[in-house]
Amino acid sequence: MLYFASFFLGKLNRHAIPTDMVTLGAAVSIVLGLIFGAILITYFHKWKYLWKEWLTSVDHKKIGIMYIIVAVLMLIRGGVDALMLRGQQATSVGVHHGYLSSSTFAQVFSAHGTIMIFFAAMGLMFGIINLVLPLQIGSRDVAFPFMNLTSFWLFVAGMVLVNVSLGIGDFSAAGWLAYPPLSELRYSPTVGVDYWIWSLEIAGIGSLLSGVNFFTTILKTRAPGMSLTKMPMFAWSVLCTTSLIIFAFPILTVTLTLLYLDRTMGMHFFTAAAGGNMMMYVNLIWAWGHPEVYILILPAFGIFSEIVATFSHKRLFGYRTMVGALVSITVLSFTVWLHHFFTMGAGADVNGFFGIMTMVIAIPTGVKIFNWLFTMYKGRIKFSQSMLWFFGFVGLFTVGGVAGVILAMPPADFQLHNSLFLVAHFHTMIVGGVLFGYFAGLSYWFPKIFGYKLNEKLGRISFYLWFSGFLLAFVPLYILGLLGATRRIDHYSASLGWQPLFIIAGLGVLVIASGVFMMIIQHLVSFINRDKLKDKTGDPWNGKTLEWSVSSPAPFYNFASIPVVHSRDFYWDIKNIIKHEPKEITDVLMPKNSNHAPIIGFISILFGFSMVWHIWWLSLVSLLLIIIVIFNRFNDENPNYLLRAEEIIEIEQSHLRLKES
């Protein structure tokens, strides 16, 4: 009996259901939320619509929207984690021990980091790239539309696995990068680390496929005439980001696989005994991890380059130096990874080399900041909400960057390593840099996707809440770090006098939460007033790139006829200088929607789950099923359908009528 149970269920048994109230409460509320959503969809009879129009859609704009919805949900989940962490730290002092146990606290900070990087930031990034990139380079879709949808579903599968760990088993308590030997079986005997491994493996493969996809899209499907040097800066940033993804993510996949082999097969790649070397893990994971942070920030740089030029009504200052800076960051980001472990035993020459390289990489970043400032110089700047995010970014990113250069000095790093100063530094870069960039991009391109603008006033209020909340939440952490507070601390002595600063930091997180709330209100209010905010022209900001030349929301075929590009800010030039005669509209081959991709996603969840719980028969079956589904898709003789020219002309004319009204 027991034998059968362990064959069919692996390590899974009734003890997998968590007993502690906090985790259980979170799991139950997620399940209730899902049931509520399902009831709503059933009530409005939307299942078929959802499946046919969204979940199986290969349209890059719809995939982008789905990415962003998932990413925002994960941003909220990660944000709740952050609130819990700061709540614990504000109350757990002296004789009080807060409301979280040490192990729950460790799970929460591990989940916070993992979710925010992999599922919030990466999700927003792929969402925005999906929404904008093909439109910007004058393409009908990405190079491989089906692969694009598959990437999205693998991303979802990874996300589901992280969240399943709330209700079945537990999550990794070894931090967001799970260093061995702590993450080895001996010190983390539960399935937590396996959940972490498999959610990242699956989502990581999705990211890699997306990287290949967008890289190919940029190189192969640009509009005729758009040479690389006429490409918009956002497209350049995506080209650099995707080449980083292509070279960095395989390292992650291999490293995680080795760790899993250690944990499951009793191997010794990273163990402390039997000739394993845990420092090899740290070395490999940062060889991926450092490029990863540039993967996140480069698209934000691209977004700001578009926004600053558009809202200053000037051409981007120093296009060539911008490209040079992007490319040199791309290469240099592979030469600095040791700065994450200066203190772990490397000698002076190694530390010196990587410290200097870290300072060198700050130079191209500084070049970009100055280029944006010079773009604004003597421009007619419009202080829209997108621009506000940019201003917030410049201030925070410069402060965070200088803190980074301080950390780049090995002697200073020996003092600040693993302190809250470091935590404050990278949050300044990732919130103030990455997240502000994506928010700016979302408010900028929102009308192109949904056809109406976002409410300006509420957007500004949200920005000010985010900005002031950020300062409240992270300036105390800089100070605490200098005072010697380590990161991931769940209890400290009252005599240290840190509590007031932790309380301020906690209040800051609440202010940020109200900024998120204000964003939700902003979207609701804008949706209600969507007729008033309607973007009839398709070009609400006097844009300079191709995406503004089509109607808002962009039609599903993107361009009625593919434009022939002659200059860098081509759409400005069409509007002002050159006469542009659109080509004749012809029939177009469009990719059909695909059931295969969501099915692959669902089976991937099963596969990951069975690998976590050692249910080997299910792993084999699901792997086999995935291969069958892929073959089935490849044997599809007609993955495309013909879109008639008459249909396109009809849609285009209704847009023209709207424009003239």
Partner 1 sequence: MKTKIYQTPSHPDANLKQYILGYTVSVLFTLSAFFLVKNTVFTRNVLEYVVASLAISQFIIQIVFFLHLFNERNPRFRLLVFLLMLAIVLILVVGSLWIMANLNHNMTLPSQIRYMNNQGGGF
Using rule CB under 8 A, residue 328 touches partner 1: no
Q: Which two tokens stand for residue 224?
A: 């005729």
Using rule CB under 8 A, residue 335 touches partner 1: yes
Nearest distance, CB of residue 590 and partner 1, angstroms: 9
Distances, alpha carbon 469 to alpha carbons 370, 437, 454, 474, 612, in Å: 26, 17, 22, 9, 38
Residue that has been written with the tokens 């399943």 in this structure = 164
Residue that has been written with the tokens 């290949």 in this structure = 212
Nearest distance, CB of residue 112 and partner 1, angstroms: 29
Nearest distance, CB of residue 246 and partner 1, angstroms: 8
Residue closer to partner 1, measured from CB, 495 or 635: 635
Contact yes or no for 134/60 (Cβ under 8 A): yes
Nearest to 133 by CA among 61, 187, 66: 61
Residue that has been written with the tokens 């993955």 in this structure = 639
Q: Which two tokens stand for residue 123?
A: 């999700």
Contact yes or no for 290/336 (Cβ under 8 A): yes
Nearest to 232 by CA among 142, 319, 324: 319
Using rule CB under 8 A, residue 411 touches partner 1: no
Nearest distance, CB of residue 353 and partner 1, angstroms: 9
Nearest distance, CB of residue 186 and partner 1, angstroms: 15
Nearest distance, CB of residue 330 and partner 1, angstroms: 9
Residue closer to partner 1, measured from CB, 45 or 220: 220
Contact yes or no for 536/119 (Cβ under 8 A): no
Nearest distance, CB of residue 626 and partner 1, angstroms: 22
Whole-number Å distance between alpha carbons of 446 and 329 = 29
Using rule CB under 8 A, residue 225 touches partner 1: no
Using rule CB under 8 A, residue 460 touches partner 1: no
Residues in binding contact with partner 1, number by CB under 8 A: 40
Using rule CB under 8 A, residue 344 touches partner 1: yes
Residue closer to partner 1, measured from CB, 267 or 658: 267
Nearest distance, CB of residue 239 and partner 1, angstroms: 11
Nearest to 594 by CA among 70, 132, 152, 37: 152
Sorted by sequence, the CB contacts under 8 Å of residue 177 that are 6+ apart come out as 113, 285, 289
Contact yes or no for 59/141 (Cβ under 8 A): yes
Which residues within the stretch 574-603 sit at the binding site for partner 1 (CB under 8 A)? 586-589, 591
90-97 long-range Cβ contacts below 8 angstroms, 24+ apart: 90/499, 90/502, 90/503, 90/505, 90/506, 92/490, 92/491, 92/492, 93/491, 93/492, 93/493, 93/494, 93/498, 93/499, 93/502, 94/493, 94/494, 94/495, 95/494, 97/491
Q: Which of 10, 169, 276, 432 touches partner 1 by CB under 8 A? A: 276
Q: DSSP alpha helices (H): ranges in 266-347?
A: 278-312, 319-332
Q: Report helix, strand or coil for 74.
A: helix
Distances, alpha carbon 306 to alpha carbons 136, 151, 299, 412, 475, in Å: 11, 26, 11, 36, 30
Using rule CB under 8 A, residue 322 touches partner 1: no
Distances, alpha carbon 632 to alpha carbons 194, 594, 596, 612, 626, in Å: 30, 11, 8, 27, 10
Contact yes or no for 139/221 (Cβ under 8 A): yes
Nearest distance, CB of residue 523 and partner 1, angstroms: 34
Q: Which of 99, 334, 464, 602 touches partner 1 by CB under 8 A? A: 334
Using rule CB under 8 A, residue 281 touches partner 1: no
Residue that has been written with the tokens 């949900």 in this structure = 73
Nearest to 188 by CA among 122, 85, 296, 270: 270
Contact yes or no for 443/541 (Cβ under 8 A): no
Nearest distance, CB of residue 340 and partner 1, angstroms: 11
Using rule CB under 8 A, residue 229 touches partner 1: no
Nearest to 388 by CA among 314, 465, 331: 465
Q: Which of 275, 495, 581, 660 touches partner 1 by CB under 8 A? A: 275
Using rule CB under 8 A, residue 360 touches partner 1: no
Backbone torsion region of residue 636, taken as left when φ is above 0, otherwise alpha when ψ lies between -120 and 50, otherwise beta: beta
Nearest distance, CB of residue 290 and partner 1, angstroms: 11
Using rule CB under 8 A, residue 350 touches partner 1: yes
Residue closer to partner 1, measured from CB, 198 or 341: 341
Q: Which of 17, 39, 50, 331 touches partner 1 by CB under 8 A? A: 331
Q: Which of 54, 99, 247, 602 touches partner 1 by CB under 8 A? A: 247
Nearest distance, CB of residue 198 and partner 1, angstroms: 25
Using rule CB under 8 A, residue 32 touches partner 1: no
Using rule CB under 8 A, residue 317 touches partner 1: no
Using rule CB under 8 A, residue 280 touches partner 1: yes
Using rule CB under 8 A, residue 265 touches partner 1: no
Q: Which of 219, 363, 578, 649 touches partner 1 by CB under 8 A? A: 219
Q: Which of 3, 265, 347, 646 touches partner 1 by CB under 8 A? A: 347
Residue closer to partner 1, measured from CB, 185 or 590: 590
Using rule CB under 8 A, residue 231 touches partner 1: no
Contact pattern for partner 1 over residues 134 through 163, marking x by CB under 8 A: ------xx---x------------------
Nearest distance, CB of residue 457 and partner 1, angstroms: 42
Q: Which of 129, 131, 174, 251 touches partner 1 by CB under 8 A? A: 251
DSSP letter, residue 419: B
Nearest distance, CB of residue 640 and partner 1, angstroms: 6
Residue closer to partner 1, measured from CB, 51 or 556: 556
Which stretches does DSSP call E strand in 189-276? none
Which residues within the stretch 630-649 sit at the binding site for partner 1 (CB under 8 A)? 639-640, 642, 645
Nearest distance, CB of residue 573 and partner 1, angstroms: 24
Nearest distance, CB of residue 278 and partner 1, angstroms: 10
Q: Report helix, strand or coil for 642.
A: strand
**Would you tell me which residues interact with partner 1 (CB under 8 A)?**
140-141, 145, 219, 221, 228, 243, 247, 251, 268, 273-277, 279-280, 283-284, 287, 331, 334-335, 337-338, 344-347, 349-350, 586-589, 591, 639-640, 642, 645
